[in-house]
Structure 1
């Protein structure tokens, strides 16, 4: 059974980890000659139909443009082109409505090894799209697996190309079944010494295979990720951020109450008692409102 989809929101641990790890990386090794990645962007499109609500990956690039990166394992080329046009328009409109900024949006598609050819240009008159295609059938996953496995066993530092190769390995040409490759890749990633790289590879594999990974197995992997030190660190950061936001909201309410009490000529000691603000904070507030 295919996965129902992994929801990435801006504060989610998986999203944050991928965003940090993709930063400053380039995809030139796959012929995608774009500027370096600055950050990963939210990829939800709630207004569209259920099976197309989420793009695979959306990145902000160094030159200020956007990269929409899709992974495909189906032959619905025309239907996919319509989907990409819709995504591009939604991304572009979002930035224009928020900042009056017309963003350049690039589209790249990484095709699994079962796809041998696809059109790069789709023209429907005044509107069209030009995508960059990468065909994983041109990459021997079995050889790449052995090369990276050898590096890991020898304790060598993995380079960016090794990390990206592992993420895309399940899409490459192989003698193995794709589900077997996914499992082998994730098990190999668990042997990587650097925990952030380990997490990045596994999270990346979940993203690149989201459309065909076995749902039950994907849930097992996500459960394993939750036990890692990296996830726990980011969970703690998220909890601290939530607490800070809550504290700021409570402080704002206290200031508003104090302001009203000052305007009602209540004495400072009473205001301190009710709001838990310090005398110094209340005196500063008096100056601000001109009392």
Structure 2
């Protein structure tokens, strides 16, 4: 089975905060005005570079939130971020709040660059300083009560401090994310969680969880293409043989359609057997049909 590449922190930062930007200030614990809109991240200058910033947001009071991700914050990073902010200020003449997100191995607090005639500071947020076990319990309770949760907290939860191993915390987080009520976001949140955990979790565990997620997505696609068609056929037959029998027949045909769609997507026989419960001879027969 093909697996999605999962080796890019920047992808998670931009995707997660883009999807859930209205919840980002609460998640980061920043006492700032609400986000109003996204802002450009590429401000080119002829005499410098066209490097892109990670994320910029316009806040309700007219100031700008500039977010960056950096695993090991260095003086060179501060110089680069300061240059970004000077470009932003030159363009908009607005107050800028620069926040650096660090998965682990960093020191919390404000980082300062002092050149003598220029003082520049950023706020660094280190996720490993946060209590992941308590947060996991809080989210679990909220979902159990049917209350809304902050999906950003779930995506970054495996990076937080825990009495469990990183792999165990990731498994628990992925399992909890299955309970998110919004089906359209559920798999996206799980994907971003796995991508972010790439550097801290054993590859075997990641591969196993990716396979499970991909299986769910592929089956969902096959069901959408197959089950409805099968049940429609069954209901038609039910007009002649009795509605109940017809619907049962439709469900059987729906399963066959799912299997055929999975095979047409290139899934192997073992995978299709696991996904549909059909036996190997049936799968082999369907393979022949899909090739015709």
TM class by smaller structure = 0.5 to 0.7
* Displacement after TM superposition at 1:33 (Å): 1.1
How many residues end up aligned between the 2 structures? Answer: 207
**Displacement after TM superposition at 1:85 (Å):** 1.1
Structure-2 change in CA distance of 1:63 and 1:80 (3 Å): same
CA distance in 2, matches of 1:5, 1:110: 11
Q: Which has the higher helix share?
A: 2
Deviation for aligned residue 1:190: 3.1
Query: Displacement of 1:34 after TM fit?
Result: 0.9
Query: SS at 1:131's partner residue?
Result: strand
Match of 2:149 in 1: 159
Q: 2:138 aligns with which of 129, 133, 147?
A: 147
For the pair 1:85 / 2:82, whether they are aligned, the reply is yes
For residue 165 of structure 1, report the CA deviation from its aligned partner. Answer: 2.2
Larger relative CO (CA 8 A, sep 6+): 1 or 2?
Answer: 1
Give the 3 Å change call, closer, same or farther, for CA 46–142 of structure 1 in structure 2.
farther
Which runs of 5 or more residues in structure 1 are unaligned?
Answer: 9-13, 230-291
Give the TM-score normalised by structure 2.
0.53
> 1:36 offset after TM fit, Å?
0.7
Is the partner of 2:62 in helix, strand or coil?
coil
Partner SS state of residue 108, structure 1: strand
**1:65 alignment partner in structure 2:** 63
Quick one: which of 157, 160, 181 aligns to 1:172? 160
**Structure 2 residues without counterparts, runs of 5 or longer:** 222-292
Give secondary structure in 1 for the equivalent of 2:89: helix
Answer whether contact 1:70 1:109 (CA < 8 A) is retained. yes
What CA distance in whole angstroms lies between the structure 2 residues aligned with 1:83 and 1:119?
A: 16
Cα 1:193–1:46 shift into 2, 3 Å: farther
**Whole-angstrom distance in 2 between the partners of 1:225 and 1:127:** 53
Correspondence 1:3 to 2:7: yes
Please state whether the residue corresponding to 1:129 is helix, strand or coil. Answer: strand
Instruction: State the Cα distance separating 1:111 from its structure 2 match.
Output: 3.2
SS in 2 for 1:27: helix
3-state SS in 1 of match to 2:20: helix
> Where does 1:225-244 land on structure 2 (aligned, <5 Å)?
none
1:110 alignment partner in structure 2: 101
How does 1:94-105 map onto structure 2 within 5 Å? 96=91, 101-105=92-96
Whole-angstrom CA distance in 2 between matches of 1:57 and 1:225 = 31
Using a 3 Å threshold, how does the CA distance of structure 1 residues 46 and 31 change in structure 2: closer, same or farther?
A: same
Shift of 1:141: 0.4
Q: Is the 8 A contact 2:70 2:101 kept in 1?
A: yes
- Following the alignment from structure 2 to structure 1, what is the Cα–Cα distance between the partners of residues 200 and 44? 23
Which residue of structure 1 lines up, in the alignment, with residue 287 of structure 2? none
- The answer to whether the 8 Å contact 1:77/1:118 transfers is no
Alpha-carbon shift at residue 212 of structure 1 (Å): 4.0
Q: Is the 8 A contact 1:31 1:134 kept in 2?
A: no
Q: Normalising by structure 1, report the TM-score.
A: 0.53
